[in-house]
Structures are given as C-alpha cells and as structure tokens.
Amino acid sequence: MKAVVLAGGRGTRGRPFTDYIPKAMIPIHGKPLISYIVRHLNQSRAVDEIIILADFSGLGKQVERYFENNREVKKPMKFIQDSQSGTGGDLVHLERAIGKDPEFLLWFVDNLTPLDIAKMRRFHSGKKTLATIATRRYRKEETGYAVVRDGVVVEFREKPTVRLEMAECLGIYILDSKILKIIKSKKNGREINLSYDILQPLSRKGKISAYDIGRQPWIDVDSPARVEREKDLVGSIIRKI
C-alpha cells in the first residue's frame, strides 16, 4: 500500500514561524516533524512506497531538500506538487502515482502518533467501505478540572484523560482509490474539502468506517509552542515510533 503524506498546509496556527518554514519542518528534538512520520511509515510492513504531496514551488521545497540525502528511508519516495485546491482537491494529482492499487493511506503531516498501520488496514479491509478514518474516544486534557457537587469543588484533577461523548476525527485515513474519481468529478476548478465535500455525503450512505486508536497517544502538531507545551506527550510518542 502506498502512503501519502499531505504536507501542503499553510500552517496558519503556527505563525509567525510557519511564514518561513512549512509546518512539516516544525522542529522536534532536533529533527523536523515530517521525519518522524516518514520513519514510522518506512518501518511499517503495510507500506511499500511513500509519497509527499506539497507545494514544492514554495516553502515545501525545504521538505524535498531534507530528504535528498536521507539514507534512513529505504522505501521508494516520490514528491508530487499540489495545487493548493483544498485537502480533497489536491488528491487528484495522485491518480497516476496510485495506479491500480485498490487503496492508499493518507496521513496529514500535523498528526503525530505511533498508529498500527497494518492493523488499521486489516480493519479497513474487513469493513469494505470506501474510507476508514482514525478516531479516538479518549483525550488527555491540557488543563486542570474540578469535580463539583452542589456548587462545591470536592476534588481537583490535573490534566485528566477524559472519555469523549463523540469520537474525535484524526487526520489519518485509508481511502479506496475510487475516492480520487469522486473528487475529480466534483472539482470544477474550486477548492474541495475532503471531510465536508467528499466524506460527509458518503457517510450518509454508510460508506465510511472509523478505526478507534484506543488510548494510543496522539497530538496535532500545529506549532512549535504546542510541541513545547506538550513535550512529555511528544516525547512518549517519539519513543514508540
């Protein structure tokens, strides 16, 4: 299965840092964020090729240069120029690269987690849906909470792990290659959002499944500040990748 890393986001939440360096290059322990994702994909037996989709005419060129002389990546790598036409619209450029493969993994570059890719793929195959999205029901909070009874605080809980009422959608998917044709039929020169324009209508037809990562650690790396604030969580993830 081919793995596509979507690394073309503008990284507005990381400004002013991301005005000069793409979100994919946010430093973590001396290495860029994307290097950990690619390392994880490189180690997975479920992945046979890695594709980086980004704006290589702009800041994304830094990503390509980083991997030019990186000998740690043993699997084939391709770099495909996006069109800045939305999280769905950019995927039409993958059609030739994906070829006749029945499905592919899509990993948004700001997602850092030691996800079991092979296990998620088996889950997807068993569901026989057009897409599977990684989700979670447990989240470790960044702030303290209070247990309140009759208006009185009876207990404080510092950064607890809470069970969410709804499943949180993470930016990691296994998509049937037919999705690319669906996107192409809807594009018409406008931006296409993968979640709202493509997956939302399919969900109403029962064509989307959810793979729960359980209590596996996960973080949305949107800025260097987030990395520093959640350094313990980031460190625990890196040790498992």
C-beta of residue 41 within 8 angstroms of C-beta of residue 7:
no
**Per-residue model confidence (pLDDT) at position 15:** 67
**Per-residue model confidence (pLDDT) at position 190:** 72
**Per-residue model confidence (pLDDT) at position 90:** 83
Alpha carbon separation from 37 to 44, 110, 113, 138, 199 (Å, rounded): 11, 9, 8, 22, 24
Stretch 12-31: mean pLDDT, rounded? 81
**Per-residue model confidence (pLDDT) at position 207:** 97
Q: Phi/psi at 207 (nearest 5 deg)? A: -100, 5
Query: Within 10 A of 65 (CB to CB), how many other CB atoms are there?
Result: 10
Alpha carbon separation from 192 to 29, 84, 88, 120 (Å, rounded): 35, 10, 5, 25
Q: What is the pTM of this model?
A: 0.91
C-beta of residue 140 within 8 angstroms of C-beta of residue 230:
no
The residue type at 168: E
Stretch 16-38: mean pLDDT, rounded? 88
Question: Of all helices (H) and strands (E), which one includes residue 18?
Answer: none
Query: Within 10 A of 169 (CB to CB), how many other CB atoms are there?
Result: 14
Is pLDDT above 80 for 206?
A: yes
Which residues on neighbouring strands pair with residue 170, listed in sequence order?
none
CA dist., res. 104 & res. 187, Å (int): 20
Query: What does the angle CA 25 – CA 30 – CA 33 come to, to the nearest 5 degrees?
Result: 30
CA dist., res. 120 & res. 105, Å (int): 10
Stretch 21-34: mean pLDDT, rounded? 92
Pull the structure tokens for residue 137: 């029901």
Model confidence band, residue 11 (pLDDT cutoffs 50, 70, 90)? low
| Mean per-residue pLDDT of the chain | 91
Which residues on neighbouring strands pair with residue 105, listed in sequence order?
3, 174
Neighbouring C-alpha atoms within 13 Å toward the C-beta of 134 = 28
Query: Within 10 A of 102 (CB to CB), how many other CB atoms are there?
Result: 10
Q: For residue range 90-130, list pLDDT tens digits in order.
A: 898 898 899 899 999 999 999 999 999 999 999 999 999 99
Task: Identify the weakest region by mean pLDDT among 11-25, 167-181, 199-213, 223-237.
Answer: 11-25
**Per-residue model confidence (pLDDT) at position 200:** 95
**Per-residue model confidence (pLDDT) at position 9:** 66
Q: For residue range 53-74, list pLDDT tens digits in order.
A: 998 888 889 999 999 877 778 8
Domains of the chain: 2-240 (3.90.550.10)
